[in-house]
Each structure stands twice: as C-alpha cells, then as structure tokens.
Structure 1
Amino acid sequence: MFTVACASRAPASIPDIPPPPRLSVAQVARLLPAKVKGPEREGWARDVLAALDAEAVLPSPPVVCQVLAVIDQESGFQADPAVPGLPKLVRQKLEATAGKLGPLGRRVLDEVLASKAKGAKRSFGARLDAARTERDLDRLFRDMLAYYEEQYPAAYAAADLASSLFGPSSFAGQNPITTAGSMQVSVLYAVNKAGPDADPDAVRESLYTRAGGVRYGTARLMGFEAAYDEPLYRFADYNSGVYSSRNAALQSQVGRLTGIPLATDGDLRLYDKQGEPRGDDSQSLKALLVFRERHAPDLSERRVRKDVDQEKTAEFETTDTYLAVKRVYAKQTGQPPVYAQLPQVTLKSVKLSGEKTTAWFAKSVDARYQQCLTRHRQTAR
C-alpha cells in the first residue's frame, strides 16, 4: 500500500510585465545623431532625462526618441537657433505695418529704429540688421518695447494714429519670436507652464538655454494623455495644439454625418492670439449643433456647448457629445470611427520659407523618430 501525499495546488500567478527599460545618460547620448559632437552629446542626454523626470515620464527608448526627434527637427540640436534672413523678413513686416499709416507711420518707425536702449551703443535698427539668432531678435523687441513705454513722448503717441500701430501692445505683437529654443516651444505655453509668479522675460531667456528649451519643449510634447496608437499624432499635436489629431478625426466624422464641409484643423472653437476662446461660434460648433438636431435630439444645445469647452482636455472623450458622434458614426457608416487623424493646418511664420503644414511637420519628425529607433536597435545588440 502506497501512501500519496496530496498538496493543494497554488493558484497560477500572472507573471509581472516588466516596465520598459529606463535609459541612462550614456544610452541616451548614443541615440543622438552623429552631427552632435563630443561632450555636447552627454549634455543633451542629461537635459532630456531631467525634463522627462520633471514630467514623471519614464525615459524608455520610444519616449526618448520622440523628444530627440523634435529637437532634431526644430533646431538640429542648437540651444539658440540661428535663422538665416530673419532680420530682413522682420524689417519688411515692420515696414508693412508702418505703411498702413503712410508717411506718418514710416516716420515713427524710422524714429524708433534710430533710437537706442539706455546704455546701448547701437541703435535698434543696427541691432536688427546684425541679429543672428532668435535670442538676438527677442531681446531687441523687448528693448524696443521698454524704450517706447519709458522714453517715447506720450503726448505725441496719443496725438496721432501711430499709437494704434506702434503702441506697447502693438510693438509686443510685432515680435516674431512666438516659439523659441531648441524645441521651438510656444513662448506663451512656457510662460503659462512656469506659473503666475514667474517673470515672463526670465522664462523667455531660459528657453534659449539647452536645459530650459528641452524642459519646456518636453513638457509640451509629453505633458498630456492621449490614446494615440503611434507618436505621429503626438508630433502633430506638438505643432498645432494638444488633442488636435483627436479633434480633427471628430471634425471629419461630424462633416460626413452632416454634409457640412469642415476644416480638420483640430479646433472645435475659435481662439484669439493668446489662445483664449472667442465668443463667436466656429463652423465646427455650428456643425455639431446640426448633428445634435438630426442625430442626437436628446442632447441639449447647452450640453453640446459645455462639452465643446473641454476640447483641449482628455475628459472631452467622456462627454455626451463626443460619445454620441462616435456612436452615430459607427451606426450610420458601419465603420469603426478612427480615434485620430493628421490635422490639416497651414503653418505661418516669418521663420519658415515656403508653405508648410502640420502634416508635413509630423511626418518629418516621425522620420527622425524612426531613425532614432534604428540607432537604438543597433546599439542594443
């Protein structure tokens, strides 16, 4: 007679899925393109890792390669990028603005350009002609603004129409440096990210350092959650605004359901130059209201408007309006609605030559991203 010892079987455990590898400074440095030489490689690597740590994002190979791809696209790894021909383009823009006032406007512009900042040796005009980098131009315009506010005769400015084009707010608006640094991050975004107590000029200056440019640019690229199945759409959002790719897909679906042609620019509302919503309705919002009437009468107009207010957030995907569009689209077309598509936005900047689009930008960055992944696979062997 044999005695068999029976033991209860432990439940099968689910194996832990290891997290993606966290890259070291040396590993990140090896992912940089060959054009970045010597100790600069380690410096860029350290700043990228610090920026990702600040956003609590794990520096895995795909994430690091996304950041490096944007840096490469936007500046070629230059902390303070030079922009060939920019002084000429800026002067042309100033002269065009002055030309709207005829001889009076040109006289005011000539007087301002002939002036100097306190303690400076060169006039504003000479500094403009000699400007080489973004920081040169940015500092010039900030000095011109300070000069106008402190030195230019207030009585003269108030007495004629010149104040409407060359007053402080107008001079600030003439500054061509709205994106800056190695990742060409929006200055407005960086100032808002720094918080209400931050000095805007100090934030601008930090963007021209390697650490600052990478810090704010990485936050802009990685600082939001989205269910994109590939980084291509995150690259597009970096250029045209958070959730632009998600919202462009929704615009396309609403356009198909209503028959109303919509620009798939990723903005369901209209915004001013400061990024604040305007009061008038966009074509996309009007189309959503038509969609509500035809396909989702249980949605109130008030609900649609409140939902659209969340278009720049992840929570927009949980709203009644977003879910209704997806549900009706699937039922009407028999096709699953895509989550994202490249927004169609034409880029306008004195720093760009020729016509460029957000789709062009995203695809160009994605090509650099793929090259970085290839370098990773080669160095990981």
Structure 2
Amino acid sequence: MLLVTTGCNTVPQVPAGPARDVHAEIEQRIPAKTPDRDGWAADIQTALAAQRIEPNTENICAVLAVIEQESGYRADPPVDNLPQIARQEIRRRASAVRIPGLMVDAGLKIRALDGISYGDKLARVRTERDLSRLYEEIIDRVPMGRRLFAGKNPVQTGGAMQVGIPFAQAHAQGYPYPVQSSIRDEVFSRRGGIYFGTMHLLGYQTPYTRKVHRFADYNAGWYASRNAAFQSAVAMATGITLELDGDVLVPDAALDKPGQTERAVRSLGPQLGMDERLIRRALEQADTLAFSDSELHHRVFDLAEARAGHALPRAMIPGIRLDSPKITRELTTEWFANRVDERYRQCLAR
C-alpha cells in the first residue's frame, strides 16, 4: 500500500490498476442513497488491504452488512435518549460507590472551561463520541469524576461498526492512519471505526463454513460460536444442562473454582484420560483456532456423538441476551447474527 502526504496528514493512496476494480465493487454494493459512497468504499478498501484480508465479494459484503446493521452508514451514529441513558448510568455508578445524589447534582453544576455546566453539556450529547469526550472531561476536571468512573471512560463501543474500544486499543499496531488524538477517538471516525470493525469481524481464522457464525462472534466475541457448539457437545456427553454462551472458561478463575462448563468437562475426566490440570490447559486455548484441533475438543465430540448417535455441529450461535441501556427491547445474539446475515445476502444479490 502506498502513502501520500497532503499537508500534515498522511493517508493511504488507492493504487492504480486492478485495485480500482475492488473500489468500484465496494461502491456498487453500498446502498445507492448512501452519502459519499466513494469515501466509504475507500476506507473499506484500505481496511482490507492494510490487514491483508482478501477483498472478495463475501468479505466486502460481510463488512457492509455489519456497517448497515450497526449504524446505517453513519460514522458516529446518534443514540436515542442518550442524555437520559447517561444520567441513569452516572446515578447507578454513584450509588455503587456511595456518592450521594446531591453531590452528583453539585458536580454536574460545575462549569467547564467554556462556561457551560457539565449538566447542560450532558443534556446536549447526541452520539457516543460526544458522550465519550464529556466523560473524559468529567474524569479530568470534576472532583468526584475519577472516583465515579474509577478513572475509566464508560463508553466502550463506538463508530460505524460499533466495535469495542478496548479491542481497538489492543490491536492498534499496524493502524495505517496517523493518530490525531487517541485510538479511542479514531474509533469514532469513519476510517477508524471501519478499520477496527473489519479486524474484529474478519481479522482471525475460524473453522466456520457459514458467515452467520462470524456475525455471531462479532456480537459475542471471537470463537463464541465454536465454543457454544463445544458446550452443547459437553452437555450431550454429560447430561448436564449448560448455558450455551460461548464462555467455556471463567477468566482468572482459580483451579479449585471452575465455572460450570469446566466442571462439566472435568466430570468426563476418566473417559477423556485427562486430569483437571490438563483440562484447564486445554480450555485456556478456547480463544484461539488451535482449540478446534485439541485432544480435548476431539475427545468430547467423540463421546457426545457416540451418545447422540449422529454427528453434532461444530459451530452454533450462542444463546445470549443482549444487555445494553441503548437497547429498548429484548434482543439476542441470534437475532443480531441472523439480521446481519440477511443484510449480507442482500448485498451479495446487489
């Protein structure tokens, strides 16, 4: 990929030749009424090229489907009732750390450097970028701010693909654009939201044969669909009912305090020929592709299929209910994955 300097900014330059055909295909598959289709296409093309992701029709449409679902082609989409949602979150956090409501109200009456109170600023926020920047200012300047938010900005997703900001910060190496302020701010830009969203969607190898399982992983986390199928196999092999959420290992759990899936797997220990330490070591691979080829994975499926009398799926959409103050109705990972898959198929047909 070439770079061209324009003034103070260094931006990726779309190469001449065959790559222009990729740009044209991306633009053609973006809905016709979308403003600046050329700009969206350029940012998507750059994201694919910078990450060495094959710019085939399937990958292009996968990215476009997530963008359409998450933001409707808006780089920093507005959120309904965001001031009320933000106030409720502030009060919830204040209650959790025993800060009286009167102190919260007093803090929000403090005036920022521009003379406007933080309460008035809060009433004006419309997008997650607005709210993120306001939270940063409150943490820095309002006496209770750091205690209220534990020094951590509560806005954890953003941009055209609603990608996780911690994910972007952890995968910033190789980002092809100059960072003007911070990776957090880049996520709220069109180019940054697309780059990190594309990485979260397509930047890892999977054993999947259908894109719908990537869409489920986009919502639930890498390999969640593979891991939910593993949990289902464990449940079949043991007769133990498990929550098929894709979380096979409790983070940082002590060996003597396993989660429900790990406990169920341990009950198969004699049949697996594995003790609890070997099982823990194998489950620690559950956030990698290697887990699919592990002895534990193979042996659990052998036991489960012998009991079921037929082959079992190696990928399954996790059963997760979506929990966010932005969501006003009961939605699930399955709903999200199928909705994006529907948009994906429409894109393929365009």
TM range, smaller chain: 0.7 to 0.9
Residues 29 and 199 of structure 1: CA distance in aligned 2, closer, same or farther (over 3 Å): closer
Are 1:192 and 2:190 counterparts?
no
Q: 1:33 aligns with which of 31, 47, 51?
A: 31
- Equivalent runs, 1:7-156 vs 2, <5 Å: 23-37=21-35, 40-99=36-95, 105-117=100-112, 119-148=113-142, 152=143
2:291 aligned with 1:351: no
Q: Which residue of 2 aligns with 1:180?
A: 158
- Change beyond 3 A, Cα 1:324–1:91: same
Secondary structure of the structure 2 residue equivalent to 1:64:
helix
Counterparts of 1:353 and 1:71 in 2: how far apart (Å)?
A: 20
Per-residue CA deviations over 1:211-260 (Å, capped at 9, x if unaligned) read 11000000010011112111000000000000000000010110111111
- The residue aligned with 1:274 is none
Q: Residues 126 and 22 of structure 1: is their aligned pair in 2 closer, same or farther, counting only changes over 3 Å?
A: same
Q: In the TM superposition, what is the alpha-carbon distance from 1:121 to its structure 2 partner?
A: 2.4
Question: Which residues of 2 match residues 196-235 of structure 1 at below 5 A?
Answer: 202-235=182-215
Amino acid of the residue matched to residue 109 of structure 1? V
TM-score (norm: length of structure 2): 0.88
Identity of aligned residues (%): 35
Asked if the contact 2:90–2:148 (Cα under 8 Å) also holds between the matched residues in 1, the reply is no
- Displacement after TM superposition at 1:196 (Å): 12
In the aligned structure 1, how far is the partner of 2:253 from the partner of 2:45? Answer: 38
Structure 1 residue 35, shift from structure 2 partner: 3.0
Structure 2: stretches of 5+ with no match in the other structure: 1-18
CA shift, 1:110, in A, is 1.3
Distance 2:110 2:183 in 1: 26
Q: Does 1:339 align with 2:335?
A: no
Q: What are the Cα deviations for residues 156-211 of structure 1, in whole angstroms up to 9, with x where unaligned?
A: x7xxxxx9xx61653636x2x21100000011100101159999960111111111
Q: Is the 8 A contact 2:229 2:316 kept in 1?
A: yes
Q: How does 1:291-310 map to 2 (within 5 A)?
A: 291-293=268-270, 295-296=271-272, 298-310=273-285
Decide whether aligned partners of structure 1 residues 201 and 299 sit closer, same or farther in structure 2, where only a CA change above 3 A counts.
farther
What letter corresponds to residue 317 of structure 1 in structure 2? S
3-state SS of paired residue (1:59): coil
CA contact (8 A) 2:67 2:161 kept: yes
CA deviation after TM superposition for structure 1 residue 44, in Å: 0.6
RMSD: 2.4
TM-aligned CA deviation for residue 270 of structure 1 = 2.0
For residues 62-95 of structure 1, give each alpha carbon's deviation from its aligned partner in whole angstroms, at most 9, with x where no partner exists: 1100000000000001001100101111212222
Amino acid corresponding to residue 292 of structure 1 in structure 2: G
Alpha-carbon distance, 1:34 to partner: 2.6
CA distance in 2, matches of 1:44, 1:130: 28
Amino acid at match of 1:363: N
Deviation of 1:330 after TM superposition, in Å, equals 2.4
Paired with 1:145 and 1:226, the residues of 2 have a C-alpha distance of 39
Provide the C-alpha distance between the structure 2 equivalents of 1:32 and 1:196, rounded to a whole number of angstroms: 26
The equivalences for 1:194-343 within 5 A come to: 194-195=172-173, 202-271=182-251, 277-279=252-254, 280-293=257-270, 295-296=271-272, 298-343=273-318
- Name the residue aligned to 1:3: none
Contact 1:80 1:182 in 2 (8 A): yes
Q: In structure 2, the residue corresponding to 1:24 is in which secondary structure?
A: helix
SS in 2 for 1:321: helix
Equivalents in 1 of 2:172, 2:276: separation in Å? 36
Q: Which moved more, 1:211-220 or 1:22-31?
A: 22-31
Structure showing greater Rg: 1
Amino acid at match of 1:25: H
Mapped pair 1:361 → 2:343: no
Compared CA separation, residues 133 and 147, structure 1 to 2 (3 A): same
Mapped partners of 1:22, 1:59: distance in 2: 12
What is the one-letter code of the residue matched to 2:30?
L
1:196–1:114: structure 2 CA closer, same or farther, 3 Å change rule?
Answer: farther
- 1:249 and 1:22 map into 2 onto residues whose CA distance is 40
Residue correspondences, number:
328
* Residue identity in the other structure for 1:237: D
CA distance 1:200–1:289, change in 2 (3 Å): farther
- Structure 2: how far apart are the matches of 1:22 and 1:344? 41
Mapped contact 2:207–2:292 kept (Cα < 8 A): no
TM-score, scaled to structure 1 = 0.81
SS in 1 for 2:65: helix
